[in-house]
């Protein structure tokens, strides 16, 4: 399956997260993205070095600037279970704008065509690192990394696309 690209419609799917009352919720991707501008960024794994030290902090730090340019939601997705995503989110106590959601079985990641096979490293199927700028379900920017790179999917890269 070809990776999602500019001009494509964001596929529908379900992702999981814990709400403010610590209740497990399932959310439709289309409910997050329909009629608004969102950023959906994906990382290979919670608590991994590049994801934890660079990718996520960049979106947290730039969240107000992104919102000032019309971004309604900033969503971080990873092929982890919602309990791991909740624990990871708690390591960013100053975060007010990035929603951490889980794609536990990589079903949505597969629908995006962005799965990454890391079985040889004992990590199973993961997500490629990416950042999508989506406006009313339509992909306006698709910044997708190759391999273990972090060169095109940062918050600063998405700011250039706004």
Which residue numbers are catalytic?
A: 51
Beta bridge partners of 66: none
DSSP 3-state assignment of 38?
strand
In 36-151, the DSSP E strands lie at 37-43, 71-78, 98-102, 115-117, 125-127, 130-135, 138-144
Contact (CB, 8 A) for 14 and 26: yes
Q: Would the CA dihedral through 82, 84, 86, 88 be positive or negative?
A: negative
């Amino acid at each position: 399956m070809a990776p999602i690209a500019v001009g494509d419609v964001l596929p529908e799917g379900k992702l999981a997260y814990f709400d403010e009352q610590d209740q497990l919720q399932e959310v439709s991707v289309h409910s997050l993205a329909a009629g608004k501008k969102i950023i959906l960024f994906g990382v290979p794994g919670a608590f991994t070095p590049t994801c934890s030290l660079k990718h996520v902090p960049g979106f947290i730090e730039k969240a107000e600037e992104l919102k000032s340019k019309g971004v309604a939601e900033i969503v971080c997705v990873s092929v982890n279970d919602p309990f791991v995503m909740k624990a990871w989110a708690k390591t960013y106590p100053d975060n007010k704008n990035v929603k951490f959601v889980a794609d536990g079985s990589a079903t949505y990641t597969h629908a995006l065509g962005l799965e990454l096979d890391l079985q040889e490293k004992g990590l199973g199927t993961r997500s490629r690192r990416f950042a999508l700028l989506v406006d009313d379900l339509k992909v306006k920017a698709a910044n997708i990394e190759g391999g273990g790179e972090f060169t095109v999917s940062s918050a600063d890269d998405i700011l250039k696309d706004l």
